[in-house]
Amino acid sequence: MPTPKATPDGNPDEALRARVRHAAEIINQADGLIIAAGAGMGVDSGLPDFRGPEGFWRAYPALGRAGLGFMDVANPRTFGRTPELAWGFYGHRLALYRATQPHAGFGILQRWAKDMNAGATVFTSNVDGQFQKAGFDPERVYECHGAIHHLQCLSTCTEAIWPADDFVPDVDEARGVLRNAPPTCPHCGGLARPNILMFGDPLWLPARSEAQAIGDRDRGGYGCAFGAPLQPADVDPRGREAGADQCG
């Protein structure tokens, strides 16, 4: 929403209230709610958004000491070269997302959509699974970059994508590395990786996200955007992730 201008009597607060009332009227008239969410949506739940190298290194100081940025570790090549480092990063995030409870804003959105004919549909570049955890219908959540809660074979020996439920990471946070055995592919026995679109990632398997996208087609409603703004690359499932504050 643009910065409100003052009303003729010079009261900017009243201008803001008028805009909020107008937005509420539009939402009340909508047949459905389309929620477009970026990394900022999770901040109030306590999740890091990785904005810039300083933000990333605050969340992962061990990687900062090693001079590694987000694009260095959110990269399939890192799984091939140093899997303990790659899975140290993603394993920590997996455990964090599992332990994090969605903030109250998720419930507010659900209340808005509850009485709408078409309900709520979510389009998100987030990989944390917070919308499903908050109670949104998984059939109506489109995760355009995939999800950390699902795995695939690093070498793509198979097109299979499977839940990460059986993997419980043990991460040495001081060193930023995985201490226990990483997950493996049940088909070839090789290393598994998160089913997330990373930087420079031609082997990401998009089938799960594509199935979500097909399910979301033709659902109309009033759109609300939350968190980091989505960029054109966000909607291209084979393209590079769009930004270090929004991607895998």
Quick one: pLDDT at residue 194?
Answer: 98
Give the range among 134-143, 166-175, 229-238 with minimum mean pLDDT: 229-238
Residue pLDDT, tens place only, 49-70 = 887 778 898 999 999 999 999 9
Q: How many CB atoms lie within 10 A of CB 44?
A: 12
Our measurement of the distance from residue 21's CA atom to the centroid of its chain's CA atoms, rounded to an integer in Å, reads: 30
Question: Residue 245 pLDDT > 50, yes or no?
Answer: no
CA distances to 21, 73, 163, 221 from 130, rounded to whole Å, are: 28, 22, 16, 22
Quick one: pLDDT at residue 224?
Answer: 56
Question: Residue 232 pLDDT > 50, yes or no?
Answer: no
Question: How much of the chain exceeds pLDDT 90, in percent?
Answer: 70
Mean local confidence (pLDDT), 37-50: 90
In degrees and rounded to multiples of 5, residue 134 shows phi and psi of: -80, -10
Are 149 and 162 in contact by the 8 Å Cβ rule? The answer is no
Question: Residue 8 pLDDT > 50, yes or no?
Answer: yes
Are 191 and 157 in contact by the 8 Å Cβ rule? The answer is no
Quick one: pLDDT at residue 225?
Answer: 54
Query: Whole-angstrom Cα distance, residue 225 to residue 234?
Result: 14
Confidence of residue 218 (pLDDT cuts 50, 70, 90): low
Quick one: pLDDT at residue 237?
Answer: 39
Are 226 and 37 in contact by the 8 Å Cβ rule? The answer is yes
Question: Residue 172 pLDDT > 60, yes or no?
Answer: yes
Quick one: pLDDT at residue 182?
Answer: 98
pTM: 0.82
Confidence of residue 227 (pLDDT cuts 50, 70, 90): low
Question: Residue 205 pLDDT > 90, yes or no?
Answer: yes
Burial state string for 21-42 with b = 16 or more CB within 10 A and e = fewer than 16: eeeeeeeeebebbbbbbbbbbb
The CATH fold of domain 31-235: SIR2/SIRT2 'Small Domain' (3.30.1600)
Residue pLDDT, tens place only, 56-109 = 989 999 999 999 999 999 999 999 999 999 999 999 999 999 999 999 999 999
Question: Residue 148 pLDDT > 70, yes or no?
Answer: yes
Which residue did the predictor score with more confidence, 239 or 107? 107
Mean local confidence (pLDDT), 180-190: 98
Query: Whole-angstrom Cα distance, residue 26 to residue 205?
Result: 38
Mean local confidence (pLDDT), 141-157: 98
The three-state DSSP-derived secondary structure of 117-153 is CCEEEEEECCCCCHHHHCCCCHHHEEECCEEEEEEEE
Quick one: pLDDT at residue 157?
Answer: 98
Mean local confidence (pLDDT), 27-36: 91
What mean pLDDT is reported for the chain? 86
